[in-house]
Amino acid sequence: MRKLIFGIAASLLMTVSAMAMDAKPAVVYDKGGKFDGSFNQAAYDGAERFKTETGIEYREFEVTDDAQREQAMRRFARDGNNPIVVIGFSQAAALEKVAKEYPDINFAIVDMVVELPNVRSIVFKEHEGSFLVGVMAAKASKTGKVGFVGGMDIPLIRKFACGYVGGVKSVNADAEVIQNMTGTTGAAWNDPTKGGELARAQMDQGADVIYHAAGGTGFGVLQAVADAGKLGIGVDSNQNHLHPGNILTSMLKRVDVAVYDAFSDVNNGTWSAGFEVLGLKEGGVDIAMDEHNKPLVGGDMMAAVESAKSGIIDGSVTVHDYMSDNSCPY
């Protein structure tokens, strides 16, 4: 009898262990690739953190052609990868199709909502983080003119821009925010030459601080700003180290946390589908502070940022979400 009980207990323990280590994660990056230093890079960092902490390998695919999205997702699902995390709004149509075909596989998508019972949709309050860097830009500007360079001209990127304008105007109502988008196709995320051109044009108009939300295109923006001795603001990942002394801060969008949590939740047996919105209160967006930009951020600037942050979190400061009505009232 004792042997029987021991055998049953051992069997149950093995079953629990198997359930706890069930993750065979995979990630599909959007155009620009995992080393874009920005959006996709953050996803890669989250996947790497999971691998380092658990020892579990993950599979990955870098999209270069729209037709590859569905192919990559279906191949991972067919091979039993779980969860499959896809990065970027452009993946939504392919994900919806594949997720319906594989209802027992858990999927997650960043920056779009796909309403299926096996899909976790993760979106961010980019406008809140952009408001904070807008406060910093206005405090740092000597000309009263700052710039914004977006990647693909879509409502999501205008959401970044509008939050930034709100932050700038909260400090200096008379400030001018010069805005440009890089293009209207996916190529706009990976055109550093164009990014540099747009930044130089904005600086020619007087902008002395420029924030980008342009993926790999942003490398050109930050390089042009540094070459001119002005200030840039990075996005998504911490880009402060790229040009120390010329990058005021970076607006962190914690895609790394979204990917890490998705992988971990399946691995720990705590997965849930549905809709997640991550803002300042949830730790989904923030500003980057480190040794590279600390000399640029004085006490007055930091106090203004902390005041704005606490106001946004407690609701006393409202930041307009461009995507709520496709308008920017600032």
Q: Give CA torsion, residues 151, 152, 154, 156, to 10 deg.
A: -40
Residue indicated by tokens 């969008």: 253
Element (H, E) at 276: strand 274-278
Q: Is the dihedral of CA 57, 58, 59, 62 positive or negative?
A: negative
Q: Give CA torsion, residues 178, 183, 189, 190, to 10 deg.
A: -110
What is the pLDDT, as a whole number, of residue 117?
A: 98
Which residues, including other chains, have CB under 8 Å from residue 330's CB and lie 6 or more apart? 162, 165, 166, 169, 320
Look at residue 62 and give its three-state secondary structure.
strand
For residues 193 and 181, give the distance between their C-alpha atoms in angstroms, rounded to a whole number.
Answer: 13
DSSP label at residue 187: G
Largest CA distance in the chain: 86
Q: Would you say 47 and 53 are in contact if contact means Cβ atoms under 8 Å apart?
A: no
What is the pLDDT, as a whole number, of residue 10?
A: 37
Average pLDDT for runs of 10 along the chain of length 330: 37 36 88 86 96 97 93 98 96 97 98 97 98 98 98 97 98 98 94 98 98 96 98 96 97 96 96 96 96 97 98 97 97
CA distances from 292 to 37, 73, 244 (A): 16, 38, 5
What is the pLDDT, as a whole number, of residue 186?
A: 87
DSSP 158-173: HHHHHHHHHHHHHH-T
Residue indicated by tokens 């988008």: 181
Looking at beta carbons, which pairs linking 268-274 to residues 24 or more positions away fall under 8 Å? 268/20, 269/19, 269/20, 269/22, 271/83, 271/106, 271/120, 272/120, 273/106, 273/116, 273/117, 273/118, 273/119, 273/120, 274/120, 274/121
For residues 194 and 191, give the distance between their C-alpha atoms in angstroms, rounded to a whole number.
Answer: 6
DSSP label at residue 298: -
Q: Which residues pair with 183 in a beta bridge?
A: 152
For residues 109 and 285, give the distance between their C-alpha atoms in angstroms, rounded to a whole number.
Answer: 17
For residues 92 and 259, give the distance between their C-alpha atoms in angstroms, rounded to a whole number.
Answer: 16
Q: Which residues pair with 59 in a beta bridge?
A: 26
pTM of the model: 0.87
Token pair belonging to 188: 């706009």
